Each structure stands twice: as structure tokens, then as C-alpha cells.
Amino acid sequence: MCLLALTALLPGLSMAALAAGDCAAGPGTARVLEVDPAGLEVGTKHFPQTLDLAEGEFVLTFDDGPSAGTTPMVLKALAAGCVRATFFLVGTRAAESPALVKRILAEGHGIGYHSQTHPMTLADLPYDKAVRDIERGIASVDRAAYGTATASPHFPFFRFPGFGSSPQLLAYVAGRNMGVFGADLWASDWEPMTPEVELELVLTRMAHAGRGIVLFHDTRLQTARMVPALLKAMKERGYRIVHVVARGVATAATPQ
């Protein structure tokens, strides 16, 4: 409890990093960006607009987990680099690995929802069925994180599988007070490739984009193996990591 409280006061540090005592393996978390989830729709692969990021600033996001085999590898690398990310969790997987969901939270990362069964896509389902899948996903993640699911979602963000939204579903999610994340670039890590090739690909895209929300899958072994080298490369290039939270969540001790 004490360590958790301490971590909450030091947003740039995870529990593991506190234990390790340094952040040499990565660029750290440069700043926390507070957003109002109401009506938030960001990420140019899905929407016309994105987050207000400066040149060289990136938000790291990981989808489809948690996965017992690979998510701990990603968490370890993020902790070693004092990097905070956002994990968009699939409900069925959260239900299978509640301890990992709690660990993601305890290590200072953000959580968002990514539906219960990851239909491709929610927009292709009948509306009622899509809403049911969204709601079951919220309840599964909340139960995994806190033991209970209440009327309001615990977490402020949602990402549509395959970015498959409809105006009706976007209105529904907004009505549940969740902001919607798309992405600005990705590692194409659903394609099989070596960690080295994936690293090269995503660094090229980061250099080209200059800033943005980056989408990875912590369920992919090639990505889990790549993250340590990615954080090292981001540090060398002077890139800065931005951690996005809902307004009012960040403490006064925002890292500089």
C-alpha cells in the first residue's frame, strides 16, 4: 500500500524502477498530458485530429493483452526505462489474467478498454450486439482490476478493434464518458517479422511522423522482444514519451 502511494506521487517512476533505482534503459516519461475524455477522438489513422504533441513526442500504446507470455516482458522493459504507456485490454484476456491487469496499474500505466471479444469489427455487428460486447469488455477489465464492476467504467479510454467504429457506436462510447483512441502510426506487428526488422520499421515511421500515438500489440512476442531496443533507440534520438491521463488523475508531482 505504501509503495503504491509513493508511486502515485512519482508519476515518472514505476515500482520496479524505484526498486532498480535508475532509468538508464529508456528515455523516461517526459510529461503527463491531461485530457478531457468527453468527446475525445484522437489518432489520425481513425480521426481527422490527434493529441496536442510537440515534435519528438510520442505516446506508446499496447493492444489486445494482457498475455501471460509477453506482457510481463513489455512491463519489465517499460519499468527499466521509466516509461509509462497505455494498455487497451481485451475483456476475455483480462478475465484470464487479473494479476497482470493489477500489475499494469500498479506500475503506473494507463488502461483503456478494447471490447470483450475483439470482433473485427464492432461496426459490422448489429448495434445491440456491439454495445453488449463493449459493456462486457468494460465489466471484465474492471473486475480484473478492482474485483468489482460498477455502473460507470473505471477507466476513461476506449479503442475500437481495427478502428471499426460507426457514428452510433462513437456516440454510445462518448455517452459512457470515455474518450476514443485511434493511433497515428504503428509497427504493423500483426505481420510476422523479426524484432530487428520491426524496430527498423517503427523507427523509420517515427522519424517520418515526428510525433504521435504509436500502436503496438503486447501479445506479440516479436514486439515484446523489440521494446527494450526501441526504448534505447528513442532515448538516443532524444524522443520524449508522453503519458496521457484523464484530467484530474495526474498529481501535482508531474515529472519534468
Nearer to Zn ion, 186 or 239 (CB): 186
* Contacting Zn ion within 11-30 (CB under 5 A): none
What is the 8-class DSSP label of residue 130? H
What is the 8-class DSSP label of residue 161? G
* Contacting Zn ion within 68-127 (CB under 5 A): none
Nearer to Zn ion, 92 or 254 (CB): 92
* Cα distances (angstroms) measured from residue 19 to each of 79, 82, 105, 162, 178: 10, 11, 17, 37, 33
Degrees to nearest 5, angle at CA 254 with 253 and 256: 115
Binding mask 153-172 for Zn ion (x = CB under 5 A): --------x-----------
* CB-closest chain residue to Zn ion: 63
Count the site residues for Zn ion by CB under 5 A. 3
Determine the angle formed by the axes of helices 221-236 and 71-80, rounding to 10 degrees.
Answer: 10
* Cα distances (angstroms) measured from residue 173 to each of 52, 151, 157, 176: 22, 14, 9, 5
* Contacting Zn ion within 200-239 (CB under 5 A): none
The reply on whether position 63 binds Zn ion by CB under 5 A is: yes
The reply on whether position 64 binds Zn ion by CB under 5 A is: yes
The reply on whether position 189 binds Zn ion by CB under 5 A is: no
Residues that bind Zn ion (CB under 5 A): 63-64, 161
